Amino acid sequence: MTKTLVVYLMAMPDTPALAQAAVEAGADVVELGFPFSDPLADGPVIRRAGERALAAGMRTARCLEVLAETRSRVGVPLIPMTYSSIFDAYGWERLESDARAAGATSLIVADLPSDVRPELRRVQLVAPTSTDARLKLAADSTDGWLYLVTVTGTTGARAELAPSLAPLAQRVRAITGVPLYAGFGISTPEHARAAAELVDGIVVGSAAVAAAESGPAELSALVASLRAGLDAAG
Partner 1 sequence: MSSYGEYGGRYVPETLIPALDELESAWASLRDDDAFHAELHGLRTNYAGRPTPLTRVERFAPDQRIYLKREDLMHTGSHKLNNALGQALIAQRLGKHRIIAETGAGQHGVATATVCARFGLECIVYMGSEDIRRQAPNVERMKLLGAEVRPVEFGTRTLKEATSEAIRDWIANVETTYYLIGSCVGPAPYPEIVRELQRVIGREAREQFIDAEGRLPEAVVACVGGGSNAIGMFYDFIPDEDVRLIGVEAAGAASLSSGRSGVLHGARSSLLADEDGQIMDAHSISAGLDYPGVGPEHAYLRDTGRAEYLTCTDDEAVAAFHRLCETEGIVPALESSHALARALDCGSELVAVCLSGRGDKDLAEVLAQ
122-159 burial: b if 16+ Cβ within 10 Å, else e = bbbbbbbebeeebbbbbbebbbebbbbbbbebbbbbbe
Contact status: 111 vs partner 1 (CB under 8 A)? yes
Residue of the chain from 26, 118, 144, 153 that contacts partner 1 (CB under 8 A): 153
**Contacts with 196 (C-beta within 8 Å, 6 or more apart), sequence order:** 3, 202, 229, 230, 233
Binding to partner 1 in span 29-58, by CB under 8 A? 36-38, 40-41, 43, 47, 51, 54
Q: Does 112 participate in binding partner 1 (rule CB under 8 A)? A: yes
| 8 part of the interface to partner 1, by CB under 8 A | no
Note if 96 is an active site residue: no
Q: Which of 26, 65, 69, 84 binds partner 1 (CB under 8 A)?
A: 84
Q: Which of 42, 96, 115, 231 is catalytic?
A: 42
Position 149 contacts partner 1 (CB under 8 A): yes
User: Can residue 171 be called a binding residue for partner 1 (CB under 8 A)?
Assistant: no
* Residue of 166, 196, 159 lying closest to 181 (CA atoms): 196
Residue number, 20 or 106, with CB nearest to partner 1: 106
Q: At its nearest, how many Å lie between partner 1 and the CB of residue 148?
A: 10
Q: Length of the chain in residues, anyone?
A: 234
CB 135 within 8 A of CB 149: no
Q: CA 215 to CA 139: how far, in whole Å?
A: 36
Which listed residue (52, 68, 85, 141) binds partner 1 by CB under 8 A? 85
197 lines the binding site for partner 1 (CB under 8 A):
no
Output the CA torsion sign for 215, 105, 55, 206: negative
> Do 141 and 114 meet the contact criterion of CB atoms below 8 Å apart?
yes
Q: Which of 28, 31, 96, 200 is catalytic?
A: 31
CB of 87 or CB of 187, closer to partner 1: 87
Instruction: Return the ∠ at Cα 184 (arms to 105 and 63), rounded to 5°.
Output: 40
Q: Which residues is 80 bridged to in the sheet?
A: 32
Instruction: Verify binding: residue 132, partner 1, rule CB under 8 A.
Output: no
Residues that bind partner 1 (CB under 8 A): 36-38, 40-41, 43, 47, 51, 54, 59-61, 83-90, 110-114, 116, 124-131, 134, 138, 149, 151-154
The residues that are catalytic are: 31, 42
